[in-house]
Amino acid sequence: MALIVFRRMVWGAIVAGAAFAALAFPVGPAIGQEEAQPLPEDMLVVDIDAPDEDAYRIGIARLIGEPASDAAIGGSVLQNDFRLMPGFRVIGPASVRHDSDAKGLGVDLGAWALLGANGVIKGLVGGNDTALRVELRFYQASGGEVPVLRQTYQGSPKDLRRWMHDFVNKVIGVVTGTYGPFGTEIAFARKHGPGQKSVYAADMDGYGVRRVSSGQGVSMLPSFGKGSIWYTRMTKQGMFITNTRAGGRRVIGGKGITMAPTICGERVYFTSSRSGNAEIYSSKPDGSGLRQLTRSRGIDVSPTCGPGGRIAFVSDRHGSPQIFTMNNDGTNVQRVTFRGSHNQTPVWCQDPEQPLIAFSGRDGNFDIFTVNVVTQEYKRLTQGQGDNKDPAFSPDCRLIAFASDRQGSSGVYLSGQDGLDQNLVIGGVAETVRWSH
């Protein structure tokens, strides 16, 4: 059953739908009941053509000046970033009928107001192939013709994209109070065939996809550490943990399986079966100072860092894989998910104000969910489009990246926390997405 919610309608459908959802899927743990409740159905969103009253409409004028190619790139980066950002709607240069160049870096707010713009970005590019200068201005409709943000970037043309991301982050900071996530990176693994898998990284907007593992055999399960990307290699000589700084050589190994590193502060958390069963361990980055954190008969895998030194992980100690949390010394273990039968690959929002864990829940196919660790409120982000799994939060938690094999357009997608604004940023087969912080 899908709950139909007419988004943006003003006569209370959202409220009614939410109330219905609450009735149909009461929240709260079903203590002592294994898999008592299914995962929540999707709230089918019918996007009717009505003004999005909540969205911030940002006008982005064509960047003026030379080199024209750099101006074009800069403008497209600005537009694309805001298109990926939940809560913003872009009014691009193509929408603008008046001469947006007429005032140079100044702004004709009246003309933009006709388009419903809440704010406008203007920019001027100057320089040549080796040295570039970009001046950017951000005007708010409420702020008149004095820019609320002005920034000049100077340096190598190769930094152009980074400058644009930086300015977007600052504009988002002005509008929402929280700096934006652009300029961060995403890592993921890609299967080329049986026994062939590599680790890749890219900018979070999908630019600059590059392989960071050797390209031979199986390299998988990436994670960001300080100045390097950690990952797992599966070789004929065994499985071990490595990183890009070590060039794929063994950094942490041991008997049985040793995999899935995640870096939390000064320690590495990972899964090992050196005791004969898959358990969560931590160690220093060189593998010394080993500590065993779980001791259950079940499979314990997929540790990830949370705020306040908490670790989320997956265990099937009660029968089927579910999400648990514990302190980083293995104490105070708590079960988090009580709905659905296969909940895996948890990832925390790092903002302590948003106690959210995103995970892959199996309900026929895998889909992306979040659960509020405190209130047990579940949200479904995907449904009915193939497998969607391995979520990762952006540093500000406003975006969730995940891998999808939806038909005809596999890849890494970004989504808002409510499942809206889903955008493909990296096409091609992908899995185990992680986000740099």
Partner 1 sequence: MKRHLHSSLTMLVCFTLFATMLTGCKEEAEEPEPEPTTGAEMPEPEPEPVEPVAEPCVVGTVYFAFDSSELDSSARATLQEAVECYRGQPDPGLSLLLTGACDPRGTEEYNIALGERRAQSVRSYLTSLGMDSSRISITSVGEEMATGTDEAGWALDRNVSASEN
Shortest CB 317 distance to partner 1, Å: 12
Using the minimum distance from each CB to partner 1, give the nearer residue, 138 or 369. 369
Q: Which two tokens stand for residue 66?
A: 């030379």
- Decide whether 111 or 314 has the Cβ nearer to partner 1: 314
> Going residue by residue from 359 to 378, which x/- string records binding to partner 1, judged by CB under 8 A?
-x-----x------------
Q: Which residues in 309-348 contact partner 1 (CB under 8 A)?
A: 314, 316, 320-321, 342, 344-345
Chain-centroid distance of CA 187 in Å reads 10
Distance CA 355, CA 342 (A): 21
Two structure tokens written together for 190? 């890609």
Instruction: Quote the least distance from Cβ 65 to partner 1, whole Å.
Output: 48
Q: CA geometry: angle at 432 spanning 308 and 180, to 5°?
A: 55
8 Å CB contact between 222 and 208: no
Token representation of residue 402: 């995940």
Q: Does residue number 282 form part of the binding site for partner 1 (CB under 8 A)? A: no
- Near partner 1 by CB under 8 A: residue from 271, 404, 410, 415: 271
Q: Are 279 and 237 in contact (CB under 8 A)?
A: no
Q: Which lies closer to partner 1 via its Cβ, residue 107 or residue 220?
A: 220
Nearer to partner 1, 64 or 323 (CB): 323
Residue among 87, 93, 116, 238 that touches partner 1 (CB under 8 A): 238
Q: State the nearest-atom distance from the C-beta of 25 to partner 1, in Å.
A: 24
Binding mask 176-195 for partner 1 (x = CB under 8 A): -------------x-x--xx
Tokens for 64?
A: 């003026």
Q: Which helix (H) or strand (E) holds 324?
A: strand 322-327
The residue among 125 and 392 lying less far from partner 1, judged by its C-beta, is 392
**212, 213, 216, 219: CA torsion to nearest 10:** -130
What six digits make up the tokens of 54? 């909540």
Distance CA 388, CA 381 (A): 9
Task: Using the structure block, give the residue that is written with the tokens 């930086």.
Answer: 166
Residue closer to partner 1 by CB (options 181, 321) is 321
Our CB check for partner 1 shows the closer of 140 and 322 to be: 322
Distance separating alpha carbons of residues 422 and 180, to the nearest angstrom: 17
Number of residues near partner 1 (by CB under 8 A): 37
Which residue of 79, 302, 325, 383 would you call a contact of partner 1, by CB under 8 A? Answer: 302
Binding to partner 1 by residue 91, rule CB under 8 A? no
From 284, 287, 292, 289, select the one nearest 313 (Cα to Cα). Answer: 292
Amino acid identity of 189? A
Residues numbered 378 to 407 that lie near partner 1 (CB under 8 A) are 387, 389-390
Interacting residue with partner 1 among 199, 218, 349, 412 (CB under 8 A): 218
- Do residues 126 and 139 lie in contact, with contact meaning Cβ atoms separated by under 8 Å? no
- Decide: is 39 part of the binding site for partner 1 (CB under 8 A): no
As a whole number of angstroms, the distance between CA 278 and CA 258 comes to 9
Smallest gap, in angstroms, from Cβ of residue 302 to partner 1?
A: 5
Contact between 369 and 358 (Cβ < 8 Å)? yes
Minimum Å distance from CB 186 to partner 1? 17
Nearer to partner 1, 278 or 426 (CB): 278
Q: Name which of 277 and 423 has its Cβ closer to partner 1.
A: 277
Which residues does 47 contact at the CB level (< 8 Å), separation at least 6?
A: 7, 8
Q: Specify the DSSP class assigned to residue 158.
A: G
Rule CB under 8 A: which residues touch partner 1? 189, 191, 194-195, 197, 218, 220-221, 234, 238-239, 256-257, 259-260, 271, 273, 276, 278, 299-302, 314, 316, 320-321, 342, 344-345, 360, 366, 387, 389-390, 431-432
